[in-house]
Amino acid sequence: MIKMSLLVRSSAAMILMLIGANAAMSDTCRSELEGRAATLLVPHKPGGGYDNYARAIAPVLSDLTGLRVRVVNNSAGGGVVARELMLAASDDSLTMLIESAGSLSDELAQVSNQQNLLELMDVLGIVHRSPHAWVLGEGLDIYDTSLTNLVAARGTLDDSHISVTLAGMALGIETEVVGGYGGSSEFVSAVLREEVDFTTVSFQTALRRTKGNEAHVALVLSDRPNSDAPDVPYLAGPGGVVLTRAAGLSDEEIERRTQFAEMVVTLSGSIRGIYISNAVSLETRDCLRQAMTESLLSDALSRSLADLGRPLDPLTGDAAIALLTQLIEARGKATPLLAQFSR
């Protein structure tokens, strides 16, 4: 059995040690960055989660470091334009990007067969990590084994392979994806309008978007209950929906579905990070990483995001790099299977 979901958890202690090892911003870096202009690109429309995070981070980063940070939304090309602008940055144009590690990996694999996003860009810090969740329409029960065909709303077909297609295979559900929706709000609205059966968004977004309406958070793509909503069914592991739906099937089929579920748990989570091109000098990137660390760990950012109702779960410095490296390795193991979905 493939134990991919253990990959991240097995080094949790190492990551916690690395967090504590991050130093405060040096005086040299403070002098280097003070007064310089910087752009934080948001590859999504204004008003959503990424936009909220960016607009909370920018003033804190400016106040703590002396950088003059502006936030720019650019959702053209489904975020591709913003990514390319960030990759084209230099020491003369400090352009950062806030985006999901999974989305960046998907995009790079599609356009350049580039599997390792860290070969092109550097992570300055991770703002929040959350598993994905399935939001089902009214009357649909994830435990109902007669539920074998579902249609999902997503932004593009390519960003659905793990959280929709592979998760569906783990559950024994054939899925179809309708693309073209513009973000989590539109995804859930499509479910409410009964244009589709379900969608996938981050777990925190799912809880917020379904409050007080007919859609419901039917499944969290994890291997254990989530402390924020422990009654929501989870995908993998003992007590998970996969094994419940697979009861009575052959050992071979249960093994196959379990492997798919473990891949989903490892690869589908939303990791909201801030990135900059490796074309920017190492010295400048190191200074920006120190600046971002100080900002992400600050009380000012914590208070600002609390006012917005947005969770903060920062991971900085070497710890952020370590987590992304583990996810990239896991994705590499899953690539042969994921490639089948693009044919």
pLDDT tens-digit profile of 220-260? 999 999 988 999 999 999 999 999 999 999 999 999 999 99
What's the average model confidence in pLDDT over 61-65? Answer: 93
Question: Tokens in use for 263?
Answer: 């891949």
* 59 in Cβ contact with 29 (< 8 Å): no
Q: What is the pLDDT of residue 115?
A: 53
- Chain segment 106-158, per-residue pLDDT in tens: 666 555 555 577 888 999 999 998 899 999 999 999 999 999 999 999 987 66
Q: How far apart are CA 199 and CA 188, in angstroms?
A: 7
Q: Which of 106-120, 288-302, 326-340 has the weakest average pLDDT?
A: 106-120
Question: Tokens in use for 209?
Answer: 């978007």
Indicate the pLDDT class of residue 60, thresholds 50, 70 and 90: very high
Q: Which of 198, 203, 202 is nearest to 188 (CA)?
A: 198
What's the average model confidence in pLDDT over 332-337? Answer: 76
- Chain segment 13-22, per-residue pLDDT in tens: 444 444 434 4
Q: What is the pTM of this model?
A: 0.75
Question: Tokens in use for 217?
Answer: 């958070």
How many residues are recorded in the chain? 343
Single-letter residue type at 209: R
What's the average model confidence in pLDDT over 180-209? Answer: 91
* 25 in Cβ contact with 295 (< 8 Å): no
Q: Which of 18, 13, 25, 14 is nearest to 293 (CA)?
A: 25
Q: What is the pLDDT of residue 25?
A: 85
* 127 in Cβ contact with 228 (< 8 Å): no
What's the average model confidence in pLDDT over 161-174? Answer: 93
